[in-house]
Amino acid sequence: MLKGTVLVLALPVIIIFLMVWNKKTRPSKFRLLGGIALAVYVLLLLDVTLFPLPVQSEVLRDRRLYGSPPNNLIPLKGLIGMMEHQSSAVLIRQIVGNILLFLPLGYLVPAIWKVRGVHRLAFIAFSVSLLIEGAQFLISQAIGYTYRIFDVDDLILNTLGGIIGYVIYAAFVPVIRAFEMDVVQHAKPSDGRSASSSANP
């Protein structure tokens, strides 16, 4: 119930932001579509990383009896542990999932704003991932149970996913710009049409 309520409240906020952004900056159609895609992505990212929240007292009481899983502050420790004690499928799912989770961020952010350079995008991806991990930690402290661990490996994989997304964007920039120029040229009336229309009364 809490999950649905939060997402429903977040949706109008994002819609208002997009409306104000569109009015003030007058973005191109591609940037506007990118902004809408980013808004949808943010909602899905929050849904995947923060929800559902175990707020029911019975659920929290049962989980506290078994103790909280430890946070991981040592790089690659969690992945090495999974390699030793979990199946390869679980390990691959953990790695690929965390990379794919931030790949859209690395593609959409430079497509909307003038963010150039792998180092800048890496900083943005790392910061967003750190905010999510920090939110998970604070929520766990608030409810008295580590419902999702703070994992430095997630920071590394999320940042890598953002970098890969940026590389994909950079590779497609010439194609996107050529397509935008083609759309603009087709949208403008040709010289012949302008001359004929001006000649006719």
For every residue of 8-31, DSSP letters joined together read HHHHHHHHHHHHHHHHHH---HHH
Arithmetic mean of pLDDT, 94-120: 94
Whole-number mean pLDDT of the chain? 85
Q: In this model, does residue 1 exceed pLDDT 70? A: no
pLDDT band for position 4 (cuts 50, 70, 90): low
Helix (H, G, I), strand (E, B) or coil at 151: strand
- Is residue 195 pLDDT above 60, yes or no? no
**What single-letter amino acid sits at 182?**
D
pLDDT bucket at 65, cuts 50 / 70 / 90: confident
| Token representation of residue 155 | 């920071």
Mean per-residue pLDDT for 102-112? Answer: 95
Give per-residue pLDDT as tens, 154-192.
999 999 999 999 999 999 887 877 766 766 666 665 554
| Tokens of residue 45, six digits | 């990212």
SS (H, E, C) 122-186: HHHHHHHHHHHHHHHHHHHHHHCCCCCCCEHHHHHHHHHHHHHHHHHHHHHHHHHHHHHHHHHHH
Is the pLDDT score of 196 beyond 50?
A: no
**pLDDT tens digits, 66-85:** 878 899 999 999 999 999 99
Return the DSSP state at 66. Answer: T
Residue type, 108: L
Q: Who wins on pLDDT, 119 or 184?
A: 119
